[in-house]
Structure 1
């Protein structure tokens, strides 16, 4: 039996239907249906009974196949554990990527703890943008990434760390600031993106950045086609750009504080998610598990930018 066939078969048994199994395996139902048809053809017996409600039940031959599949799967899991132990007894290199220079100190403090416990481990850190991090993890060049994300990639596992609300931001001389600062002391004061004039000039992050994807998705949902005369590539620049142009309206996560700007909450709210990612199905080494645990459980103050 091929390992992939075993995993697919076990998932079908566990879920009890092709549709649910396909969803858990991130496959289309027709793909999994063809797999099962080929599997039964190769076995020369019917492994499942198809019920009228689309549920599946094991036949007697299917029960025998299940017992064999479980044994092989246990052997493989044991072998993986042995390989992992062997790998950890040798030198291990962990590549971590972060999307914020300010996190280097914290990651290095985590590395010191790991190296003290696992002297054979070396840890390399890179600062990249969100797209580069997720691509690097998918390609196996990066072991663990800390990044922002707007949409989940099926091939990655995520450890959610924090979620920050994204506000509109304007110069204090902007007409919006003058209007909303008068009631800024009240709670739950928000503005709909549709209340803004169609001619509103927006300052947005360059296309391809996760923050831009998040904002573009929000605007599309609310049927807004933004006029974007100006873009930028680092969030650090937004304060100066908006201060120099009183007409522009930008977006900024509320964990970035620019004292020279006025923050206006959106209705409905827009959120920016951040966390750790690594390849789905990958068996983390003990050192990697420790690193993920420390970074996941870190106080939020470490993640403030």
Structure 2
């Protein structure tokens, strides 16, 4: 079954004549008649009653007419959707798994509000996964973290944030204004395997001779937050991470911070990347260590 056959059939039923339908569709009458006949043979039914006065629909043709209109409508909608998507400006952003935080969510929301004509595709993953996607041109840019403040033609540092202890409001340390790593010794603890400062964090723990009791190892921050919220363990997360029913406490002898920013490829030809980075550079990072 071909679209042209359906169009020819509908033209015939509308005009009541193969000749008039052929004129309307700018084809020869024999070609149109052959196409409709082929459609009937494929369907195994007669769709039209042919007479010298007027061509009319058979009961099967009457039922097929509604289907034919629906098929053409779907084809038209699909074509329109694809054309609109092709014409629409797009931006593929790789977002680090651990950056599902209010500042980044607010940035994405405000950018979409300001530039609704740009279609955003988000891809989440670890640092290695995102680096591979950027290198393979599967994303146009990254929202990621850097171990230190960086400066290059393809990076835009946005802000810095500390790592803090997150515990349930029922946790024994919940009312403390600050803690030391030694306070975590022997306490249930979630080890976040996707944490950007995992190795450095382990080194600091060893240096301070603090050995929390690791009861959960996970590469999914949602599970880590669930453990904390249910008072099953504590975790160390970036200060902008928010979870209902928990509190974040500064750690006085844990000075690790992360720099959050944008990263893109050299000679990036996606015109929406500089639009996004310029917008991000002007965004207000209230309460955070803004990098200018």
Shorter-chain-normalised TM-score: which range? 0.5 to 0.7
- State how 1:81-230 maps to structure 2 within 5 Å: 94-99=91-96, 100=100, 102=105, 104-109=108-113, 111-112=115-116, 123-131=119-127, 132-150=129-147, 157-177=154-174, 180=176, 184=177, 190-197=178-185, 199-205=186-192, 207=193, 209=194, 212-223=195-206, 227-230=213-216
Residue 242 of structure 2 corresponds to: 257
**Cα drift, residue 139 of structure 1:** 2.6
Q: CA RMSD in A?
A: 3.6
1:52-80 deviation digits (Å, cap 9, x = unpaired): xxxxxxxxxxxxxxxxxxxxxxxxxxxxx
Larger Rg: 2
In structure 2, C-alpha distance between the alignment counterparts of 1:134 and 1:154, rounded to whole Å: 18
Pick the aligned partner of 1:242 from 224, 228, 232. 228
**Cα drift, residue 156 of structure 1:** 8.8
Residue 267 of structure 1 corresponds to: 252
In structure 2, C-alpha distance between the alignment counterparts of 1:243 and 1:97, rounded to whole Å: 28
In structure 1, C-alpha distance between the alignment counterparts of 2:136 and 2:217, rounded to whole Å: 30
Instruction: Specify the SS of the correspondent of 2:236.
Output: strand
Unaligned regions of 5+ residues in structure 2, if any?
Answer: 1-86
**Cα drift, residue 193 of structure 1:** 1.4
Instruction: Specify the SS of the correspondent of 1:137.
Output: helix
**Cα drift, residue 160 of structure 1:** 0.9
**Cα drift, residue 159 of structure 1:** 0.9
**Cα drift, residue 94 of structure 1:** 4.0
Q: Give yes or no for contact 1:98–1:126 (8 Å, CA) kept in 2.
A: yes
**Cα drift, residue 169 of structure 1:** 1.5
TM-score by length of 1: 0.50
**Cα drift, residue 93 of structure 1:** 5.6
Q: How many equivalent residue pairs?
A: 189
In structure 2, C-alpha distance between the alignment counterparts of 1:102 and 1:216, rounded to whole Å: 27
Unaligned regions of 5+ residues in structure 1, if any?
Answer: 1-89, 116-121, 185-189
TM-score by length of 2: 0.52
Q: Give yes or no for contact 2:148–2:258 (8 Å, CA) kept in 1.
A: no
Q: Give yes or no for contact 1:167–1:265 (8 Å, CA) kept in 2.
A: yes
Residue 73 of structure 1 corresponds to: none
Residue 37 of structure 1 corresponds to: none
**Cα drift, residue 287 of structure 1:** 4.0
Instruction: Specify the SS of the correspondent of 1:176.
Output: coil
Residue 262 of structure 2 corresponds to: 276
In structure 2, C-alpha distance between the alignment counterparts of 1:262 and 1:135, rounded to whole Å: 35
